[in-house]
Structure 1
Amino acid sequence: MVVQGGGEDAVGEEILVTVRAVLRGEVMMAPSVVRRLVERFVLPAAPPEQKGRLERLTERERDVPALVARGLSNGEIAARLHLGETTVKTHLGHVLGKLELRDRVQAVVFAYESGLVRVGA
């Protein structure tokens, strides 16, 4: 069944593709269900030592690597947190020191491994 009208043909085609896939025995799941399954069963829980390291940071210091992990620059983080760019650099320096990290890349990895940032969140 193809629904006629402005832009709705694609929706009808998607329905046909889904119905045909189910008839072939394939399993179809909503993207939100797939995301929850991946988060629960594929992404590992943060190891206890990572959570312990996370506790070394102040709340503001936690904000900075979380935003770094989302790809924001120091200037963008400063605007988001209503801080000066120099203050963001200072916070990031404290984070790197407290967590014994070398650079922003390690801060991003830590943010994901510790659960500070979740994939797709």
Structure 2
Amino acid sequence: MNSRRHTDNFIPSQKSPISLNRYDDFDDLAPAVKPRPRSPEPRLVARALYNFVGQTARELTFRKGDLIYVRRQVDKNWYEGELNAMVGLFPTNYVEVSVRTPTPLRPLDDHPHPELTIDPKKLRLIP
């Protein structure tokens, strides 16, 4: 068992001390300029004017009134879009396209929280 023990052949004066602040130098590696959060980009939104039933797995099925996020225009007759986490192709003449600028999300702390009030007179115990 003694033969498996690790031994270094250095005497204490030959060993280099370990600095306690050895990780502090990594703060200098952080970028000097913090990247700004990107502002939401306007998205094309298509409102369905008619029901459309896809004929293939690549086509997006939707109902009149659905809002479809347009990813790209494939050609003059077809868009690629997203609806309810499904992505597919749909005809341009079945929709009306508009530009929607998304509203940036605010932290929950910015919204006032309604106070919860309980009227003890209205409480009932249910057996």
Task: Flag whether TM exceeds 0.5 (same fold).
Answer: no
Q: TM-score range by the shorter chain?
A: under 0.3
Going by fraction, where is strand more abundant, 1 or 2?
Answer: 2
Greater relative contact order (Cα < 8 A, sep 6+):
1
TM-score by length of 2: 0.24
TM-score by length of 1: 0.24
Going by fraction, where is helix more abundant, 1 or 2?
Answer: 1
